[in-house]
Amino acid sequence: MKKVVLHFNSVNHHFSQLITGLEYLNHHRKIDLSYNFDFGKYPENIFRVEISGLNLFFDLADHSKIDPILYRESDFYIKRMLLKKDHVENHKLTPYGLYFPVYYRNPTLKYLFLKDLSYWKYSLKYWKGVSKFLDIRDSIATNELSIIESDLTENKGVIFRSRLWGAGKDHPKWKRENRKALNDQRIRINKLLKEKFGDSFTGGIRKDDFSDKQCPELVLPKKEFHRKRYLKKMQNSSIGIVTYGLEESIGAKFGEYLANGLAIVTNPIDEFQLLGPLKEKEHYFSYHSPEECLEKTQLLFSNDGLRRSMQKANREYYNNWLHPGTKMMKIFERIDLL
C-alpha cells in the first residue's frame, strides 16, 4: 500500500469530500493514510497531500485562479475550478472535478479537539449522535456517504432549492453585479418553474433578512429548508436545476444530483476541465436564460425515455468518477501514483 500523508490545513467545508475519499481508501486498505496538522500554513482553500515523495496541492476554491507560488512548489496542482485553457498551458495542473459535501467515519478528526481545543466545533461534525442531537447542518449525521447516495426514482419531480447572496458597499463593483445577476436568475427560475410545474416542483429560497426583502413570496421557513428534508425531497425528484455558484463556479448541487441519478439542467459548464467527461444531452442540458431553463426542463419532464436515460448516465458517472473513493483513485492514477 502507498503511504499517504494528508497535511490538514483548514476546516474549509469543501474538503469534506477529499477527506472522505482518502478515509474510504484507507478503510478498504487501498492506501495507508496518516495526518500531519499544519493549521493555517496555506490559504484556507488549500490542502497538501504527500505520496511517494511527491507534493500534491489540492485547491478547492470557488474561483479559477491558480496560486503561482504553490504551483511552483508543487509536483502536481489539483484544481477544482480548472479552466480548460489553463489545463492546456500548465503541465502540472490536474482536474479535481465536481464537489459536494460528504462525510465518512474519521477517528482522527473526531478527536481533533484533543490536539487543539479551538477545533472542538469542527470535531463535532464527526460525532454522529451528537451532531444529530445538536442539529448540525453540515455533519456526518446529515451528509454521511451512505445517506448522500440513493437509487434512481421514477417520480417526475423537479427540484431547485437555492439561496440569495447579499453584497454590501464594501464589496467591489464586479462582485455586487455578479451577485445581483445570480440572485435575479435564481428568483426568476423559481417563479417560472413554480408556475409551470405546480406541485411537481420543489423550489423556494432559503430564509434570511436579505431574501425576505427580495422575494418574500418564495422564502421558505428554516425547518422546510433543513438539509435532511432537502435530501429527502431531492432523492424523490428526477430533474435537478443548477445555477452558477459563487464566482461562477459549478455548485455542489451538480455533484449531489449525479450521486442520486437526477437528470440535470444547468448553466454552461464547458469552459471547465473536469476529472471525467460530461457530455451535453447525455448527462445534462445547458441553458443561457431562465426561459431556456424552463424549456429544457419541460423537455425532460415530458419525455420519459430521455429523462430516464440521463438519470442512468448520471448515476453511472457518479460510480465511475465522482464517488469520493473512486475520485481519489482516479486522481492518483492520472498522475501515476497508484
pTM here is 0.94
Could you tell me where in the chain the CATH 3.40.50.2000 domains are found?
158-322
271-300 pLDDT, tens digit per residue, is 999 999 999 999 999 999 999 999 999 999
The whole-number average pLDDT for the span 7-25 is 96
Average pLDDT, the chain: 93
Higher pLDDT residue, 229 or 311? 311
DSSP 238: S
pLDDT at 338 > cutoff 70: no
Burial class (CB in 10 A: 0-12, 13-18, 19+), 140: buried
Ordered DSSP codes for 121-173: HHHHTT-HHHHHHTT-SSSHHHHBHHHH--PPP----EE--B------TTS-H
Q: What pLDDT score does 211 carry?
A: 87
Q: What pLDDT score does 159 carry?
A: 97
Per-residue confidence band for 318, with pLDDT thresholds at 50, 70 and 90: very high
316's grid cell: 453511472
Among 39-43, 110-114, 218-222, the minimum mean pLDDT is found in 218-222
Q: What pLDDT score does 98 carry?
A: 97
108-141 pLDDT, tens digit per residue, is 999 999 999 999 999 999 999 999 999 998 999 9
Higher pLDDT residue, 240 or 227? 240
The whole-number average pLDDT for the span 71-88 is 96
The whole-number average pLDDT for the span 47-59 is 96
CATH tag for 158-322 (out of 3.30.360.10, 3.40.50.2000, 2.30.29.30, 3.30.565.10): 3.40.50.2000
Q: What pLDDT score does 187 carry?
A: 93
Per-residue confidence band for 195, with pLDDT thresholds at 50, 70 and 90: very high
Q: What percent of the chain has pLDDT over 90?
A: 82
Cβ neighbours for 136, distance < 8 A, ≥ 6 positions apart: 124, 125, 142
Cα-based torsion angle of the residue sequence 270, 75, 63, 46 in order, rounded to the nearest 10 degrees: 140
- Amino acid identity of residue 312, one-letter, is K
Per-residue confidence band for 1, with pLDDT thresholds at 50, 70 and 90: confident
pLDDT at 223 > cutoff 90: no
